[in-house]
Amino acid sequence: MAKMSLKDWINSNQKAKGLSTKEAKAGASKYKSISAAKKAGSLYYTNKDGKVMIAATAEDLKSPAPSKSLRPKKRPTSGGSRPAATTAETAEVKARNNEIKASLKARKEPSASRKKSYNKKAPVLKGAAWMSAHTSAEYHALTKSEASALGLPRSRVAGMQSRFKNNKFKDGQGWGYKTP
């Protein structure tokens, strides 16, 4: 069994009796020994030198702390108390809180028309599909790395020799030569 510290023992016993330290030490002068203090139910006694001591033995420290605890005292109120809300006021407050929650939820969730734009990305056209959707001027404005990223030839000359040689842009232009 675990041994309890003297501080824990005295604090738990004072709490069980509902006494402060000052109140518990007040009657210590009546008792001159631990056994006399224990018989009377006091937590403190006065020794030969006149010093107030805790009336506890080693056996007391081995026993578990008393389980009785007091209910905390209610704090005094300063001034009057607030009257309770009526049922109509309570219902009004609940209705307003529900409105606020609903508006916050609506702000967080996108509307049905906005969900489509969030969830679907525009398809990235590559190769022949890009050519049919864009003009030859847009192709010539691309850099070589952008053209490669779109799966297109890097230059007009390379386009004439590629698999796209027979494809045309949106404006009807080809790669610069006529096909038979």
Burial class (CB in 10 A: 0-12, 13-18, 19+), 19: middle
Task: Say if 58 falls within a structural domain.
Answer: yes
- Please count the structural domains in the chain: 2
Q: Which residue has the higher pLDDT, 177 or 12?
A: 12
Task: Say if 94 falls within a structural domain.
Answer: no
Task: Say if 143 falls within a structural domain.
Answer: yes
Average pLDDT, the chain: 80
Distance CA 51, CA 26 (A): 13
Distance CA 52, CA 31 (A): 10
What is the tens place of the pLDDT at every residue in 122-135? 677 888 888 888 88
Q: What is the pLDDT, as a whole number, of residue 179?
A: 44
Task: Say if 153 falls within a structural domain.
Answer: yes
Task: Say if 178 falls within a structural domain.
Answer: yes
Distance CA 12, CA 58 (A): 16
Task: Say if 67 falls within a structural domain.
Answer: no
Task: Say if 68 falls within a structural domain.
Answer: no
Task: Say if 91 falls within a structural domain.
Answer: no
Taking residues 26-46, report their average pLDDT.
89
- Domain carrying residue 54: 6-62
